[in-house]
A and B are shown apart, each in its own frame.
Chain A
């Protein structure tokens, strides 16, 4: 959250020209420019960053998406695509001189093929709506980001979203078969296919997680999986987070890939328990939730093994969900962790680093030290199976000094993630939020490759400029500032 955003006045003449170009092929009510109409689009899930867009376009079909891109390409107007706007890294933050392209009206489930186990959907379809639509067939769509009741599948592709079941079932990239993409020139290309691979380069993989910088997805064919016959979860409590981390390694070493493996530290369970009454022991330094799913026989055998491993690893309390209601209650606490932490403090800042699991204890110790240094509290929830850590830094945004400290705290956590061999973002994306941290994770040579690839898709840099990949100039400036104090010297100056 260390990227100052430029606020620019709207160029009224340009705004008029863009509106009239778009209204040539779209109903007037789907091209918004009045201040009160475009303000709802000024931010996504990362509300610390706001910018009112010049124009908002709400296409109703793929032809209109293509026509909008073609028009913007011709007029050299930058375009930011937006799904449900739930993203946590400011990837859908609009540009004051750009078009905000909302895919919200493309919300049809076009076709479901039960035998081939796939569904063809438009990008505005909600993630959870897919699983709801195919539930009667005994199928579901596996990736389940925490925002799944609201987030759109198009946004999931743009961010390569994960969820709590990634270790076993993969990310978005592992669960889509084909996408239709509109290029900035307004051409449609199809990537992937009806089979499990496609001819040529794997541009489907490259497009997934590209944060709207390479093209606009207009249709997605998702893979559907059979709903597991049953699932059970083990709740284990530890008086030391290092020991909990070791328990995770012991489960993996035993040859078990759990359907979900989540860790919460004491500040997180203490926030959650009064709120949800999930049955978490709040005296524990950390708890683990470890789920097994599959056939009845598989789950029975695996749960027994997990239970034993937890005890052998030093858990002072091990409980197995006895029925579906208890299983859901165990999970309800984890799923409510963000809002529960939100009750403790006016604001919280959610980080998203991934680390090698074995470095967990060390990273948590580092975060504890930083709590003292920045005088802010931090609760940690952790997708322990795949090493994805979500520290939640508590602060008060009305206090400018706290906001600054929260941002610096976050940047230092990300630096630590890189230092232990991890990454600055596991599933939330870079967006505007972590763009300076990209300068720490990648060298000039890799950043140049990213820019060359961007250029291959979008010669004039019109698709979501200023996100995901920093310019070399920005990194050079950031590097200098970094050496100075870790604090930007002239925060009021625009930086690109």
Chain B
């Protein structure tokens, strides 16, 4: 493995010297996400395998090329899981890609995001330097939190080699309830419930139905279900997995898919097209062939941001434009990590 890292490092260093762009490739399950990178392919999937996993320490460390599915199944055997329920689009996805994209699934509002679970990582920066930040312990405030900065930076700051994540136990019991509600009522309910100590671990509103996942101690789930009411969903596991991996019917077809991350109480968006809500109202998916300006205006109205997640007109900015002062700072951070600007240039923003 050290040879592989050395090779990667040499490649990066040579590319930096020649100012030649590199496009980092994992399993390709999120190739659709972000702008295409023009550059020589840097394939990192060969760097795989779980390095250490100690269930009683609640920590798993694995190489970036390890398939998420493998991590999920190893953890499940020990009665544990990745608390942020990362998506496995098209059944694929590696740990490195998962952390580079920083995407989280249905449990995010209840348990935290990808970056919340990152304890430490090892990466190669844009000079090919092998760096280790954070560690394998829950609390660590020595030095800047570079691990979390790297999470979600889409490979523009470094090539992730290894990641340590906090693990969570699988809940002893789970139950999904379904209720019929308009979007406005569902938004109000989701926000009201989130202010009460109910054991809710996921919510979704789609097609006039509100899905509510309860999890925790058996008696607690039963008591909450009796009070909150609704039909029990028998296919709950499939439902949430399909939602997580975007295999739910809402995600089918070619209409552009927008992702809006907003204040959870933002009223129903006045935009054309179908909407699906997650994260207690804080995440809105939109299927519509609508101009980017209107979507971004709506996102600003909810103090949030909009991403053209999949499809849409070529040339549309995928990620929400940043204010000038903030972009200036992003540029400087990029230069600090990747002075030659060779790692995934333009995948996120043309300036980075």
Contacts and interface: CB of A to CB of B under 8 A. Distances in A.
A6 interface: no
A196 B131 CA distance: 29
A354 B137 contact: yes
B131 A449 contact: yes
Contact of A257 (B133, B169, B325): B169
Contacts of A313: none
Contacts of B289: none
Contact of B138 (A178, A196, A386, A425): A386
Interface stretch (A206-214, A369-377, A399-407): A206-214
Contacts of A274: none
Interface in A384-429: 385-388, 421-429
B304 A195 contact: yes
Contacts of A445: 129-131
Interface in B203-241: 216-220, 222-224
A202 B149 contact: yes
Contacts of B264: 116-117, 195
B181 interface: no
A17 B45 CA distance: 59
A168 to B, nearest CB: 10
Interface string A249-265: 11011011100000000
A170 B168 CA distance: 13
B91 interface: no
Nearest to A468: B143
Interface residues of A, number: 97
Interface stretch (B16-24, B64-72, B151-159, B248-256): B151-159
Interface string B319-333: 111110111011011
Contacts of B138: 166-167, 354, 385-388, 426
Contacts of B133: 446, 449
B116 A202 contact: no
A253 B55 contact: yes
Contacts of B302: 194-195
B141 interface: yes
A442 B333 CA distance: 20
A422 B135 contact: yes
Contacts of A188: 325
A203 B333 contact: yes
Given A117-B195, A138-B195, A162-B139, A199 B56 contact: no
A173 B220 CA distance: 29
Interface stretch (B35-43, B105-113, B268-276): B105-113
Given A196-B261, A386-B139, A425-B142, 7 more contacts: A187-B325, A193-B303, A195-B283, A197-B113, A441-B143, A453-B146, A453-B336
Interface of B: 54-59, 79-80, 102, 108-109, 112-113, 115-116, 125, 129-133, 135-146, 148-149, 151-153, 157, 168-170, 172, 191-192, 194-199, 216-220, 222-224, 261-266, 279, 282-283, 302-305, 307, 319-323, 325-327, 329-330, 332-333, 335-337, 348-349
25 contacts: A115-B265, A116-B263, A170-B112, A195-B263, A196-B282, A198-B305, A199-B305, A200-B348, A202-B153, A205-B149, A226-B196, A227-B197, A297-B217, A297-B220, A358-B56, A387-B139, A422-B137, A426-B139, A426-B140, A427-B141, A430-B141, A449-B133, A449-B146, A449-B336, A456-B335
